[in-house]
Structure 1
Amino acid sequence: MDSVAVAGERGKVATLRRQQVVRPTNILVGVRARPLSEVERAADDEDAWIYEGGDALWETTVDGEKLRRYAFDYAFEPPTGTSQVYASLGVPIVEAVMEGYHGTVFAYGQTGSGKTFTLMGAEEQPGMTVLAIHDCFQRIERAIEEQGAEFHVRVSYLEIYNENILDLLNPSGGARLTIGHDPVSGPHVKGLTEEVVLSYDRVIEILRVGERNRHVTSTRLNMASSRSHTLFRMVIEAAFPHGDAFAHGAPHPCLNMVDLAGSENVKRSGASGQQVKEAGHINTSLVTLGTVISKLVEGAEHVPYRDSKLTRLLSSSLGGNARTAVVVTMSPSGRCVPETRRSLQFALRAMRVVNKARVNEVADRAALVEQLRREIAELRAALVEGGGGMVVTKQGEMVSAEEMLRRMHEYHEQERARIEEEGQAEAARADAGARTASELAHLAFAAAHAVAKLEAAPTAARLNCGTSIRPSATPRREQELSTARDPTRSSRRCAPGDGREGAATA
């Protein structure tokens, strides 16, 4: 991807983002209408929609009269550029990821409506995925320069084809990949290739390899119709300095960019043979996705995430631990109104789903215990020197020594409870979890004992110590990076930019 084009698009994004409002809990939804295609114009199709105020659109009659209004967070009329779509829907998700939250962007819409073009773009107009990767690495570089942080980034790329999960970075592997679940990171694919990356350019190379390996075909509605759902994931582990060492708890978020295959009317698309089977699997999984959304809106006790591999992988992003944005793409053609109407109804339901995102951390438990020990030792040393009096925290707040120890005691209790809970969820590491919880309980008791002694201490002292603990992720050695797979495999599908879905029309 041309770096000049990316820089130009990011400049537009910076200006546009100053006017945006972010919704941090509900799924963020925007609708993007592409221009009429050459085929549609040749058939004398007309735009059947009226766009209003940047967040709504009207379905119209054949006479141009307003019939039904649909309102969303954003509504992008043609020929809105991808940079503006990214500024509204992508930047809030990237910001959340860099703050430690999981983030997901997925594109939904009928076949040929411009989903893949919106996410992957073209040389002259980078897609949301490319802009998001570029944005993340810019923020990483600033954190390294300004905060002395360390980062460990890895990426993976998969597709769900006929309900089978395939590794786009190792298509010749032949292994049947299955879905597992981690109590912290959520659903993941066992055995999926993960590439360790050091730069934006390397990620783009990997992205191109994955795109070449996707299943695509030509139909009447789309010259390069995606026959599978794809999920590109970038995991970002960060470690920030804490005193003389790195903190022992680090943000461990992931950015998911999901390109859903389009719903397809087999009669209109002219699908036959294998294409009919593919369309059947695509439509079935999209129906399940719609059912999941509906159940979440209804507040149902059971949500059928496990009814398809797509919804199982997206379970954290739908009503779970993630910040999520959906871009619904549509053709403005009057002939596509029934399909577009269904897409907009899906978007309206998705807007009502509330996610419960939290900062995701990976804790090095042994290091966490050691950090807590050091803090207890500092407090005891202060007691010996005089105890009592006022304390200045690292945030510059002046509190009493009693208050400082109370906070420490409360924090240690919370950490002990959290690790006990994680230990129960991770049966394979139950012994280690129990030992850690026991040590934390001992430290909490030590803090409580220190509080009791301090209450009786008569003299004043000033203590400069912090109250926050962030366990660090250990960066992998550079030797390991050199062994990462170089994905220079032969193309078995299509090259990026060769008739990508919607590219000729969006």
Structure 2
Amino acid sequence: MKLQRSSAVTQLHGAIKSLKQDLKSLRSFALALSKDFQRQSKTCLYQVLAAVQGIQLQNEAMRLFQIKAFDLEQSLQEVTERYEKEKQKRKALHNNLIELRGNIRVHCRIRPLLPFDDAVGHSVSQDRRRNFSEKAAYAADDETVLVKCSRPGHASVNKTFQFERVYNDLESQDAVFADVAPLLTSLLDGYNVCIMAYGQTGSGKTYTMLGPQLEGNLSFSLEEESELGIIPRATQEVFRLISEKPPGSYWVEVSVVEVYNNEIFDLLAKDGYGKVFGIKRDVVTTREGKSDVPLLTHETVENASEFLHLVNKGLQLRVTHPTLVHAHSSRSHLVVTLTITTVVFGDNFGTSWEDEQSSQRLNKEASCTFPQKMRDNKSTSSSRASSPVQLEATEKMKQVKTRLQLVDLAGSECVGMSGVTGAALRETSFINRSLSALADVLGAIAEQRAHVPYRNSKLTHLLQDSVGGDAKLLVMLCISPGQKYLTETMQSLGFGTRARQVQRGQVKKKLSQCRVKENKTLDSSGFKYH
């Protein structure tokens, strides 16, 4: 029994000793593990601190870059603002110079490449067909046209043309009209204005002047309002400006003519049954040296809708013919004229009407007499005298007539390109001759020749007062960008360059055309009745 206890104690001591040894080993391992953990922790901490310092340095550098970028943006904005101010000043000075010299203003619009530009109309090589679809004319900036002139076997040459304004192929009808609108204010200030679209067939003249067309009718839906051209927009703007004036102080008459095969046709004339059809008219030079079309139909309009209705009637009679260049090519020059009659009391044309209490009563009398009479007799002519109307006024009364001419010229054509034959070929001949006559007139004025050949064409005779007279004239040069039309494009740009060189003297305001004292007798147009 004793021996068994001794053996158990011995075993217990051995186990305790073994446990102590294991505990000692475990303790050593724990210490080593702790030291290793502390070492790794320090290493990670150093790495974290280094990373934090690096991030702080990067944040500081980023902040400095941001400050520098902000300063650069501020400087760029200041430079841009100064540039724009200087640019506007330069444009204003340039416009003042043009105003003083009486030059013709020329704007150039480059249309986009269109699907029909790929069609050439004749069998040509694949290389030429590919070249035809390439662009040759670009808007380098808003005042410069760049043309890449390239011919087979010759090095490409770049030519530039400067104009008062250049529109690239992405600029909208809104952008074009924004530069036209100030001229309409001048119209009500007493200046004659003429806006003329020039260019080859298919270059976008009619689109620029009228907007989209469908079967001879202008399209004026709200969805397409942004596509409206200069003519409908100008009319809307004129009536908007008139609406801001005292009632009865203005009224508007419209005439629509086309010059076709060197003959003038009145597109608002009516037959005995009231049906509109084109009647041939003639243009004459009055004793005062002004051009006039006797018996031309003038319709009084009271708003833009009435005007557009009349223009649509005229457009339905306008001659068009399909060619290889343009499916609805205009074969005549269209001239739409708005004549604005201003009733002025006293000697204060151009001053504030609202500041003259006495004029308010006379304005009311005029609104009851002149416009109403004109409304009762819608259609008048330059040679027709209506029954006299009695008007009693206690002050002198004046009339000022200003004229807005909106001209959509027929396009110049290369017969080989358009592929026309027969009657269309004859039309092309007349079109090109009339446009050549227009260029001759501009050349004669620019060279200050003693004789200007206005009568070489009915077109130039009709536009004599606008081209060579005292009207503010804007030529909207329309060009096609394709290599295919390079020859026609260069011809159009050359025409625009010559037009810019014309100096006609300072444009003048229209003076009063009649004075009426008390108890004078007037006809329906406000002139003295004979």
TM bin, normalised by shorter chain, reads: 0.5 to 0.7
| Pairing 1:188-337 to 2, within 5 Å after superposition | 188-242=292-346, 243-244=358-359, 245=362, 248-337=397-486
SS of 2:296's equivalent? Answer: coil
SS of 1:143's equivalent? Answer: coil
Change (3 A) 1:365 1:240: closer
Q: CA deviation at 1:475?
A: 6.7
Partner of residue 26 from structure 1, selected from 84, 87, 103: 103
Q: CA deviation at 1:326?
A: 0.2
Partner of residue 114 from structure 2, selected from 22, 32, 37: 37
Q: CA deviation at 1:61?
A: 4.2
Give the TM-score taking structure 2 as reference length. Answer: 0.63
| Pairing 1:323-362 to 2, within 5 Å after superposition | 323-356=472-505, 357-362=507-512
Q: Distance in 2 between matches of 1:252 and 1:473?
A: 16
Change (3 A) 1:74 1:46: same
Q: Residue 107 of structure 1 corresponds to which residue in structure 2? A: 197
SS of 2:465's equivalent? Answer: coil
Q: CA deviation at 1:105?
A: 0.4
Q: Residue 78 of structure 1 corresponds to which residue in structure 2? A: 169
Q: CA deviation at 1:174?
A: 6.5
The answer to whether the Cα contact below 8 Å between 1:153 and 1:235 also exists between their aligned partners in 2 is: yes
Deviation track 1:404-451 (CA, whole Å, cap 9, x = no partner) reads xxxxxxxxxxxxxxxxxxxxxxxxxxxxxxxxxxxxxxxxxxxxxxxx
Q: Percent identity?
A: 30
Code of the residue aligned with 1:118 in structure 2: it is: T
Q: Residue 48 of structure 2 corresponds to which residue in structure 1? A: none
Q: Which runs of 5+ in 2 are unaligned?
A: 1-87, 120-128, 213-218, 272-276, 347-357, 364-395
Q: CA deviation at 1:283?
A: 0.6
Code of the residue aligned with 1:342 in structure 2: it is: Q
Alignment RMSD (CA, Å): 2.6
Q: Residue 159 of structure 1 corresponds to which residue in structure 2? A: 258
Q: CA deviation at 1:191?
A: 1.3
Code of the residue aligned with 2:147 in structure 1: it is: E
Code of the residue aligned with 2:326 in structure 1: it is: N
The answer to whether the Cα contact below 8 Å between 1:158 and 1:230 also exists between their aligned partners in 2 is: yes
Q: Distance in 2 between matches of 1:284 and 1:353?
A: 21
The answer to whether the Cα contact below 8 Å between 1:151 and 1:236 also exists between their aligned partners in 2 is: yes
Q: Residue 374 of structure 1 corresponds to which residue in structure 2? A: none
Give the TM-score taking structure 1 as reference length. Answer: 0.66
Change (3 A) 1:366 1:249: closer
Code of the residue aligned with 1:49 in structure 2: it is: A
Q: Distance in 2 between matches of 1:81 and 1:257?
A: 19
Larger fraction in helix: 2
Change (3 A) 1:188 1:287: same
Deviation track 1:290-340 (CA, whole Å, cap 9, x = no partner) reads 111111111101000011110011111123121100001010000101110
Q: CA deviation at 1:158?
A: 0.3
Q: Residue 353 of structure 2 corresponds to which residue in structure 1? A: none
Change (3 A) 1:365 1:143: closer
Q: Whose Rg is larger?
A: 2
SS of 1:285's equivalent? Answer: helix
Q: Distance in 1 between matches of 2:422 and 2:462?
A: 28
Q: Which runs of 5+ in 1 are unaligned?
A: 1-17, 372-470, 478-506
Q: Residue 363 of structure 1 corresponds to which residue in structure 2? A: 513
